[in-house]
Amino acid sequence: MNEFITKIKKLSLGGSNSYLLECAQGYILIDAGMKGAAARLSVKLKRLGVEPCEIKLIILTHGHYDHAAGLSEIRELTKAPVAIHRNEIGTDLERGLNDKNESTFLYRFIVGIFKKITPEGESGYIINPEIIIDDELGLEDFGVDARIIHTPGHTPGSISIITGDGQCVCGDSLFNIFPGSHYPIIVYDRKVLAKTYSRFEAEDCGVYYPGHGDPISKRMFIKRIATKKRFMSPNE
Ligand SMILES: [Zn+2]
């Protein structure tokens, strides 16, 4: 991935991947992990020689607790404004839940386990963003050639960040934790997610950074998702 100009670094702040996107004015943090994330972020920033105040924006790809429950403490640490899509605000997502889902048996099985192991207080966080995204938002004002696009399906307000040099931080629209599949275990709406995959194909990115697992190459995206998309939306 050395051909990419914009630097993107994966961080684990607990429960999911977060990413640091380098910009002219400092860094943009994408996703805030779970409770305890600020302490993890402090350690990782120190190793990188980055001050918390150099984080100029926090983007939440969506409101699930493993991406957003660490937000309030990270906000306190960095004082950065928060951006999220309108559809993620004031819904059950702020309690870590989808109000509708078309997920698989595997998802329901895993959620059954998570309900037992999720610590008390992990849900019930308030996002209260400074920046509300609708369809698209350019990030030029933050000193980076990138834009946020609306990529629903995993949740109604899932978003992705696409850089000018063809990198895509896609949150949980793609997973990379199971062999042979990049399909998320939680799906709000399968047909809507199929449309999002068509949009990803049109954007033609060279690499996708998922919410869980390692980056996915364009070749693997096409191989796994093109097949899945036909299965997901047979009438389109
Ligand atoms: Zn999620």
Cα–ligand 1 centroid distance for 66 (angstroms): 7
Structure tokens at 73: 């403490």
Q: What is the pLDDT of residues 50-69, one digit of tens each?
A: 999 999 999 999 988 889 98
At 222, the pLDDT band (50, 70, 90 cuts) reads confident
Higher pLDDT, 122 or 185: 185
Q: Which distant-in-sequence residues (6+ apart) come within 8 Å of 200 by Cβ?
A: 151, 160, 168, 170, 173, 208, 221, 225
pLDDT greater than 80 at residue 123:
no
CB 2 within 8 A of CB 121: no
pLDDT greater than 80 at residue 150:
yes
Cα–ligand 1 centroid distance for 52 (angstroms): 25
Cα–ligand 1 centroid distance for 45 (angstroms): 24
pLDDT greater than 90 at residue 234:
no
Please give the pLDDT value at position 230: 57
Cα–ligand 1 centroid distance for 23 (angstroms): 26
- Per-residue 3-state assignment (H helix, E strand, C coil) for 93-152: HHHCCCCCCCCCHHHHHHHHHHHHHCCCCCCCCCCCCCEEECCEEECHHHCCCEEEEECC
What percent of the chain lies above the pLDDT cut of 90? 62
Cα–ligand 1 centroid distance for 56 (angstroms): 24
Which among 155, 169, 185 has a CA at the least distance from the CA of 64? 155
DSSP state, residue 83: E
Which among 152, 148, 228, 149 has a CA at the least distance from the CA of 193? 152
Cα–ligand 1 centroid distance for 170 (angstroms): 11
Cα–ligand 1 centroid distance for 174 (angstroms): 10
Cα–ligand 1 centroid distance for 200 (angstroms): 18
List helix spans (H) across the chain: 37-48, 65-68, 71-78, 105-117, 190-203, 218-232
3-state secondary structure of 190: helix
- The pairing of strands 55-59 and 26-30 is parallel
So where are the chain's domains?
A: 8-232
Higher pLDDT, 125 or 25: 25
Cα–ligand 1 centroid distance for 72 (angstroms): 18
Question: How many Cα atoms are found within 13 Å in the side-chain-facing hemisphere of 232?
Answer: 24
pLDDT greater than 80 at residue 72:
yes
Query: Which fold is adopted by the domain 8-232?
Result: Metallo-beta-lactamase; Chain A (3.60.15)
Q: What is the pLDDT of residues 7-66, one digit of tens each?
A: 999 999 989 999 999 999 899 999 999 989 999 999 999 999 999 999 999 999 998 888
pTM: 0.87
pLDDT greater than 90 at residue 107:
no
Cα–ligand 1 centroid distance for 75 (angstroms): 20
Alpha-carbon distance of 159 to 148, in angstroms, equals 7
pLDDT greater than 60 at residue 231:
no
- Find the angle CA(227)-CA(231)-CA(236) to the nearest 5 degrees: 105
Least confident segment among 60-74, 98-112, 154-168: 98-112
Virtual torsion, Cα 118, 210, 215, 27, nearest 10 deg: -100
Cα–ligand 1 centroid distance for 62 (angstroms): 7
